[in-house]
Amino acid sequence: MPFVAIREDTRRKVDITDYESPKVALGGVSFVCRDCAAPMVIRSGDFVSPHFAHKPGYEDRPCWFRRVAESEAHREAKRRIAAALTNSDFFKGGRVEIEYPIDTEAGRRYIDVYMELPDGRRYAHEAQISGQGIAEFAERSQAYRSQGLEPVWWLGGPARTRENIVWVKQHCAWLGELDITYQERVIIDERDGSDGATSIGSGSVGRGRYQPARA
């Protein structure tokens, strides 16, 4: 679920990562999803960063954010990428925007982090932290370039394989890397004497780095 939603009163975009305590700062404000226009609420918790979630009852509306069902680790990756790009040495003066819509032949999608430089160059920064094959990298890179966007892949977790790194270095101008630590929490339910243990895996994303991909 997204970081960005539309305020109903002003019809303006709100990026929740701009707020320290969004539930307080944005209390009483109504939001709608920028993709399906369903009402949204702010969700946050011990293990999740504040984000927007659809109110129940609109499940039948087609929505990109529902379809991709991003993990908390992926959301965190977007924040890390935006942080690494803001005030970066390589991309001075760039405008950085989380969840940027583009219309491709396959329909509307949202770039994880969009960046536009003062000279007009545009980049699509995408976090890839779960398995993705070379064919998919190639296809999505082609789709971005057809829109005048240079793709920058940020590889982390299972996607940071030797093969993927080599492909990105050969085909893209930049290589991004994300450090991901997977933690497992075990919840033991002892109420009925059974040993019902549930483990919940979640990833925490460390600092992102990137470099020119010249091999």
Q: Judged by CB, which is closer to Zn ion: 50, or 176?
A: 50
Q: How far is the CB of 16 from Zn ion (least distance, A)?
A: 15
Q: Judged by CB, which is closer to Zn ion: 74, or 80?
A: 74
Q: How far is the CB of 62 from Zn ion (least distance, A)?
A: 9
Q: How far is the CB of 197 from Zn ion (least distance, A)?
A: 35
Q: How far is the CB of 32 from Zn ion (least distance, A)?
A: 8
Q: How far is the CB of 121 from Zn ion (least distance, A)?
A: 30
Q: Judged by CB, which is closer to Zn ion: 32, or 178?
A: 32
Residues that bind Zn ion (CB under 5 A): 33, 35-36, 63, 65
Q: Judged by CB, which is closer to Zn ion: 65, or 174?
A: 65
Q: Judged by CB, which is closer to Zn ion: 19, or 64?
A: 64
Give the per-residue SS3 of the chain.
Answer: CCCEEEECCCCCEEEHHHCCCHHHHCCCCCEECCCCCCEEEEECCCCCCCEEEECCCCCCCCCHHHHHCCCHHHHHHHHHHHHHHCCCCCCCCCEEEEEEEEEECCEEEEEEEEEECCCCCEEEEEEECCCCCHHHHHHHHHHHHCCCCEEEEEEEHHHCCHHHHHHHHHHCCEEEEEEEEEEEEEEEECCCCCCEEEEEEEEEEEEEEEEECCC
Q: How far is the CB of 64 from Zn ion (least distance, A)?
A: 7
CA quadruple 59, 62, 68, 73: dihedral sign: negative
Q: Judged by CB, which is closer to Zn ion: 63, or 205?
A: 63
Q: Which of 207, 187, 203 is nearest to 195 (CA)?
A: 187
